[in-house]
Chains A and B, each alone.
Chain A
Amino acid sequence: MKLKLAFIAFAMLLTTILAGCEPLLVLDPKGPQAETTANVIWLSILTMAIIVIVVITLLVIMLYKYRASKQSEDYEPPHIEGNPFVETIIVAVPVIIVLFLSIVSVKSTYEVESIPEGYDNQEPLVIYASSSNWKWHFSYPEQDIETVNYVFLPTNRPVEFRLYSYGPITSFWIPQLAGQKYAMADMVTKINIVAETPGDYGGRNANFSGEGFAENTFTATALTNDEFNKWVEEIHSTADQLTEEQFNKLLKPGHLGQMTFTGTHLEFAPAPEGEHGGHHHGETQEEGQSNHEDHSSHSNHEDHSSH
């Protein structure tokens, strides 16, 4: 009975995912990275479903066949130590499954960490995404513009987000485009994204970061290349220049709507990468995000961002 119930619950879970009327975000990818993970997730669900079904079937058989009420009063169960043959099987089968999934895991992890196939001949568009309590700041060094809580991307062009944080560890996540990556205060991490379909995609900080965490969201909009260029031009002609003073105001804890500026904060507050990285182990000179002294003497320091 109990098993039937567990089984039904599991089947319900599966069918909801399988046939849900609205596709779940993670399983409704709009770019190659998210598509790779969605495929891996499907593959693992199916593999794992086999294991669950085998275990439940065996359990049902055991419980049905060997329940006390079905046996005679004087039945004495035998003493069975174990059997090398059986035990080899119960080791070998899981080992094979784990080997298979290990290959899937390593291969797909390399895949989603690099520029997707077919796009690697293009120069990626670099966007710095930095979080502060509880906002996201997007800086386009190439286009010399900056936005708050929304980001526009050209479709079919690789985008390299460089992530860091003004405060607690946050996790940059646009479920329909790619999985998460942490943003930290003392280093820059990178995430590669390609959006293939124009549209608005929800993004958020997925890592708990205090009181305003729940509303720490942004919108990622994918536009065709022409539209994207038009948007950049429009900003240059309409938006104000971002000043250091204004940027420091933006950093104060709280929520802001969507905002647009020309110029980026990187000019006066560089990202913690290269010589501005936070890991000057053991050195005592002043550091921090607003630090824009010339640190060229440390330029040989290693870059802690991922590759």
Chain B
Amino acid sequence: MRSEALADLQQARAAKRPVVFATRLSDGFQCLLPSSSASAALNESAHRALSRDENATKEIEGESWFLHAYSPPVRLVIVGAVHIAQSLVPMCAPLGFDLIVVDPRRSFATEERFPNVTLMDDWPDDAMEKIAPDARTGVVTLTHDPKLDDPALDRALKSDAFYIGSLGSRKTHAARLGRLAALGHSEATLARIKGPVGLDIGAVSPPEIALSILAEFVAYRRTIGQTT
């Protein structure tokens, strides 16, 4: 690997540009894809690798190529800079997720409580407008406050977010679904919301609840939510 090629790759990753680092296994020739100087077949394989988040050796035009897909990190939007969010943040780092914590209440979303995290103090609907959740984004609401949770969920349901979760008891969740239905969301759409949020591991403490949420989030990312 040439140091220049490595620097180009790291630059693309830092800019959160989805790229494939392609290696021709017969001689070690390498290039970044997609590229205007690469063949259509190579570029097409690169697009497929990115959409599937897949690293694999492929036979392309009589040569073996290793296509290493570098997609931007999966994002997790947390609405509510609450106690459970404080547990979620450090757990996300080793998993490689990009975190955004949304809370318009200034005393909650402070740098002191959430060091080194992207904090947004917009109202959740404005924040979601800016974040524009895509198929690599998950949204979890934690505030228990309909004024904050509902607009975030409303926007999440209108987006391609692959995972939507909302903290609250079964009773709270049923009431929440009623309010969102009144906003015009169908039953099928509302079924996208995981509520009560998280895998049922009998979680009690905030770190345990955070763990159950992240376990469900990973399950969706790796298996259940796979669309391609």
A and B: partners?
no
Which residues in B have some Cβ–Cβ distance to A below 8 Å?
Answer: none
